[in-house]
Amino acid sequence: MTSTIFLQPGKRLRIFVGEAQQWHGKPLARALLEVIQQHGASGATVWKGVEGFGPEHHLSTDRLPDVADNLPVIVEVVESEEWVARVLPHLDALVGRGMITVSPVEIVQGGRA
């Protein structure tokens, strides 16, 4: 049995926020995931950092409980270029203090011959 690999251009979208950030009473990362899901993404992942700092240079770390108030969180999704272009304005509207990056990727589409 032969396996054929197809590469498809896509975009990786990463949204950097703090876990304490809220959107209408719910965690911002959850709100972002809901928007991503509502727009038909294949999947998304939320990564929680153990240490980090943002624009104010306030260090948050899980090693010291008294400064673990706003650990870094990354919401990541890989989709088609068209999907990212369509959904990015909706996500950007939710992210007040944070950063969004978009990087080109090649999506592996496997198939069996």
Mean pLDDT of 59-87: 83
pLDDT at residue 113 in the model = 45
What is the DSSP code (8-state) at residue 63? T
pLDDT for the residue numbered 85: 97
Higher pLDDT, residue 82 or 113: 82
Segment among 14-28, 46-60, 84-98 with least mean pLDDT: 46-60
Question: With bands split at pLDDT 50, 70 and 90, how would you rate the model's confidence at 49?
Answer: confident
**Rounded mean pLDDT, 73-100:** 96
CATH topology of domain 24-108: Alpha-Beta Plaits (3.30.70)
Banded pLDDT at 63 (limits 50, 70, 90): low
Query: What band does 22 get if pLDDT is binned at 50, 70 and 90?
Result: very high
Domain ranges across the chain: 24-108
22-23 and 26-27 strand pairing: antiparallel
- pTM listed for this prediction: 0.84
37 to each of 33, 42, 65, 76, 113, how far by Cα in Å?
6, 8, 33, 12, 32
